[in-house]
Amino acid sequence: MAPGVIGANLENGTPNNRNRYRGQMKTFTRTIRTVSVALLLVGFLINCTEEPKGEQRLGQIQWPDDGTFETVADLETFVETNPLWKALESRFRDLIADLAKDPAGAGKYFDLHQWLPNSVARWATIKRYRPHLVTPDTTALDISTGFGYFPLAGKHLFGVKSIDATDAPGVRWSDLYDDVTHVFGIRKYELFVRKFEALDIRNDGRRYDIVTSYQMVFDVWNGIWGEQEWRFFLKDVRESLLNEGGAIVLGFNQRGDVGFMKWAKPLGAAYLGEKHRAVVIVPWEALERINERQE
């Protein structure tokens, strides 16, 4: 083969071809080196501009020894004067400022004088109509917790033994919800509820006396749930999350209770308090009946 012809046999190649091969290898190595340095640089820049989750997590509020407060006002004062609450306000100042444009945005929840009493009223209703579900021995799980006032009130005003939170990961405002529940010191699990799918909650098999969910949207997002979707969900909650004798409390959004009660009331579901509040309890006996009819 003529010297310098590309395609020469490299094992038995001529010195000229070997040189060409070495040259190509050098260019290749240089390119790899340049690309790696560029990638490292981009990674470094991203790291500098994005807030790394985890390491920069705010701390948790140190609650008083017995953990409970006499009045809602006491709890409000304690929270709003805490430096960690102020740090949260500062972290989410853009969201709070956006309220002028979007009054429905999640920044509204920083008005704890409006929203904490709302959660207090929820616990008060459960306690009034089903006192055995709100005691110092009660363990509770709240599904789709959002900002975290409901678990906060349960723990620090109603003295329930424990209340865990859950929320769907990666949805709108989930960073805010994660940070707030963390600062409040509430144990939280990821839980994305999808119709006809078993609940995928990694909570070490914990079980609860009461499972709640208020103003949920999982039952309207992606198609409004009917009787079959609800039966699947309630059966799953009973089997995988509830202690024997436990109950589920649902605070419906958008009057979803109307269709729900058509089939669930005859089985033993009941309104808690005034009907217009759309808060429904599905006690253990009703859950057993739902199970029987499904099997």
Contact pick of 58, 61, 217, 261 for ligand SAM (by CB under 6 A): 217
Q: How far apart are CA 2 and CA 25, in angstroms?
A: 22
The token pair that represents 203 in the structure block: 């909570």
* Cβ–Cβ < 8 Å for 248, 216: no
Annotate each residue in 49-78 with x if it binds ligand SAM (CB under 6 A) or - if it does not, as one string. ------------------------------
174-184 and 83-91 helices, crossing angle to 10°: 170
Contact pick of 17, 125, 138, 145 for ligand SAM (by CB under 6 A): 145
Contact pick of 165, 168, 250, 290 for ligand SAM (by CB under 6 A): 168
* Cβ–Cβ < 8 Å for 79, 61: yes
Contact pick of 107, 146, 154, 283 for ligand SAM (by CB under 6 A): 146
Task: Give yes or no for residue 193 binding ligand SAM (CB under 6 A).
Answer: yes
Region near ligand SAM per CB under 6 A, out of 80-88, 214-222, 230-238, 271-279:
214-222
* Cβ–Cβ < 8 Å for 183, 215: no
Q: Report the residue number, 17 or 145, with the smaller CB distance to ligand SAM.
A: 145
Q: Report the residue number, 8 or 85, with the smaller CB distance to ligand SAM.
A: 85
Task: Give yes or no for residue 178 binding ligand SAM (CB under 6 A).
Answer: no
Using CB under 6 A as the binding criterion, the count of chain residues that bind ligand SAM stands at 17
Output the CA–CA distances (angstroms, integers) from residue 284 to 192, 204, 210, 246, 290, in the order listed: 24, 23, 10, 6, 10
Residue 129, judged by CB atoms within 10 A of its CB (0-12, 13-18, 19+), counts as: middle
Region near ligand SAM per CB under 6 A, out of 87-95, 139-147, 197-205, 277-285:
139-147
Task: Give yes or no for residue 108 binding ligand SAM (CB under 6 A).
Answer: no
Residue from 124, 108, 130 nearest 271 by CA = 130
- Shortest separation between residue 21's beta carbon and ligand SAM, angstroms: 58
- Looking at the chain, the number of H-run helices and the number of E-run strands are 10, 7
- Which sign does the torsion angle of CA 241, 243, 248, 249 carry? negative
Task: Give yes or no for residue 189 binding ligand SAM (CB under 6 A).
Answer: no
Task: Give yes or no for residue 263 binding ligand SAM (CB under 6 A).
Answer: no
Output the CA–CA distances (angstroms, integers) from residue 88 to 50, 67, 151, 153, 225, in the order listed: 17, 21, 18, 19, 35
Q: Report the residue number, 168 or 248, with the smaller CB distance to ligand SAM.
A: 168
The token pair that represents 28 in the structure block: 């290749």
Task: Give yes or no for residue 214 binding ligand SAM (CB under 6 A).
Answer: yes
- Shortest separation between residue 144's beta carbon and ligand SAM, angstroms: 3
Residues near ligand SAM, by CB under 6 A:
144-146, 167-168, 171, 174, 177, 191-193, 214-218, 221
